[in-house]
Structure 1
Amino acid sequence: MLDRILIQIVPSKINPENLISLITIFAIRFGIATLIFLFGLWFTKRLHKLILKILKKSNLDPTVISFLGNLSYAALITIIILMVLAELGLRTTSIVALLGAAGLAVGLALQGSLSNFAAGIILVVFRYFKVDDLIEGAGIIGYVEGIKIFTTTVRTLDNRLVIIPNAKLIEDNITNYYAKPYLRIDLVIGVSYSDNIDKVRQVIAEIIDNESRILDYPQATIHVGELGDNSVNFYVRPWVKTHDYIITKFDLIENIKKRFDLEGITIPFPQRDLYLYSQDK
């Protein structure tokens, strides 16, 4: 190494031969270091393009692809610089230790951001949801507008734009309503105890049959599910395509109410009977 050579030459009497020897050795090492640097740059650029090509084929988010590409490029450049410094005779052990200490300090300072970054990578790699999916997570229900490195943007059903930190989203349960091609609508329809339950079942079945958005398979189910305090509760379970879920559910509720009014079927509500007794004195 160059530092050992300098120790051996510098203490001795400097003469032209020693100076020429020192310059020659330094020139050789400098030339080798230059070749390492130039070849390293060429190799790094080629490898960086290859990494980007592989990442693009994996259908990752463009932001994640760019970040991982830049991260790999920076890591390769750092390795090349360390190799060049080592060839020039500089001790890289202390440099690596310094970089490690600096990285630890930065990591502690950016602990929250790093957790969001790690969560973002998990979301993109495992693809729990994608853009335009309807999800529920971190107490928010809405459509995914974008998945970034640190945050996920969600547009709520009332058109508010909510930016959720990825760490908060990944720590909670995530419900993806668009993960499957169809969903089941769960309705609880209460009728009066005085109504004929066979007629109620027939009316609900006719409403379901007349709704074109309800699927034939899986078949809808209509059952008496509960004898409540104030009503006989029917559990109505039709299936629809995922994108028709919300509007079909609202239309079913409205159509059931209108049809019940025409058929004279009563939808009861909680009530309390009060009896007054007169007490003779």
Structure 2
Amino acid sequence: MCGSLMPRATADKPKQERNNSMKYIVTDESITAVIGGKAHTLRRDHANARLVIEAIARGDNEADIEKLMDVQQAMSAYLGDNVEVRDGSVHHRGEPVDEVISKRILDFMSNNLPVAPLTRFLENLYNNPSRNSRTQLYKFLEHEHLPITEDGHFLAYKSVQSDYTDHYTGKFNNRVGSVLSIQRRDVDDNPDNGCSYGFHAGSLEYATTFGGSDRKVMIVKINPADVVSVPNDCECQKLRTARYEVVAHYTGPLPKAYAEAYDSVEDDIYDEDNVESSESPVDNSLVTAIREAATRLLNSLPGNN
């Protein structure tokens, strides 16, 4: 179908064809399609140009072709309510998202990981009543192997004594399945105080080097809404929280981006390299376009070149 698309029409003599009820013009410089009475134009050197031409040739429906020509809109639809990609960056409820979280979202899309956990994470994060706590948490999440879980929490590491009690008081049980909580007001919110009141968890590097040789390292799940502070010492590798759940023994580094939600059992670690997202409401060509667009945005962020 659409043999007029190949070879390319010249700029002087553009070809116009009809795909169902859709009119389109393909030239050496651009592709223009009129969909729902609105003209959409895409340059031929755009990464999606080939996908658009192939979609037209297959006779794909107009809605999918329109999304291919407006990938930021498609990315926003892919992310769901309250999260959108605008002007090359991620926004939540109209406000730009911190670069650390933006990178995670774009990384998820680039690798075709399910994005719903990250949108849930954002909702949980913005349920944290303290702007300072949210800002400090970004610093902690810059460390690797702190994956987001399906329910929008994140996993971290905690060093405990050989009998599973905490190092400081020896009173709190940290066996798998334990849920520990205190009043938020009882947690020190000053990041300039290193060791202070509150439950602590850390990065992989911090937890595996803290405590004596008989220490145990546990995997803990934390709701970002419960995080109170991230001390400035130790390169922001530990945090204080009002609540956490012990979900597993440490047996090796967690995935960098995503891990299945635990349910107080010793589940296997989710293999993010083999995940196939079933959440996408769009076809493969659009998923490809979204992944490619997310990769380009991710590579354009500072420190990713």
Question: What is the TM-score of this pair, normalised by structure 1?
Answer: 0.26
Bigger Rg over Cα: 1
Q: TM-score, normalised to structure 2's length?
A: 0.25
Could you say which structure has the greater relative contact order, defined with CA pairs below 8 angstroms and 6 or more residues apart?
Answer: 2
